[in-house]
Structure 1
């Protein structure tokens, strides 16, 4: 994925139920993210159109996936698994062997997907967030 894919990726996100877009998904923020995590985010293209994407980054110790999605017409073809594997291989090449993804509690389809792929639901931690601006959409 490059910043040139931004418009197509955002359009795909907007048409996908369960995906939450925030101010942090702006063009400028996405460009910073891609520059900070080069070669770790990917798009899937079919017939010249973006049909899937995943964003991947790390903090130096742990990997993080965001926004894995595939258009419904292209699901069940291994695209999501291939996108995730590319991310995990890229992280492993950096020595990062543990990766997390946040899934909204209301996104049952994503929860089913990740559990079916062997990812473990963490019940031993709670995620706390702080937004400096107080803007709930940050």
Structure 2
């Protein structure tokens, strides 16, 4: 557990779901889908134990969360969110570092993030923190 800046980081567990869902729902540009039900997130966490993370302030409030998972060779981060009250304090960077450290320890070679093009704050965060848009491929999707 890391308590720098009075913010504690710890692994995301399903008991965190309601607080995380409320945080995600409060973020402009972060969209939720049928893949974000409590049941679906529980399956994701079970398949990727210890990779996702939450940030808790000194009052016990969740001020950050991100889902992180991998398939053994590539990883993805989903729904990085930091409460407006905690922005500018390095919380988002620490959440990502937590995930990257675990992915590196698992010998995962690369990680992707999915950010909607209209999410200006999210895109600015990722681009300012060493992530890039390779502009060489696109994601195609099909609902099942």
Give the TM-score normalised by structure 1. 0.93
Query: Are 1:123 and 2:144 counterparts?
Result: no
Match of 1:61 in 2: 73
Map 1:78-89 to 2 at 5 A. Answer: 78-89=90-101
Gaps of 5+ in 1: 133-138
Query: Are 1:36 and 2:44 counterparts?
Result: no
Q: CA deviation at 1:40?
A: 0.3
- How large is the Cα RMSD of the aligned pairs? 0.7
Equivalenced residue count is 132
Distance 2:114 2:87 in 1: 21
Show structure 1 runs of 4+ deviating over 4 A: none
Gaps of 5+ in 2: 1-11
Map 1:37-116 to 2 at 5 A. Answer: 37-46=48-57, 47-116=59-128
Match of 1:2 in 2: 13
Give the TM-score normalised by structure 2. 0.90
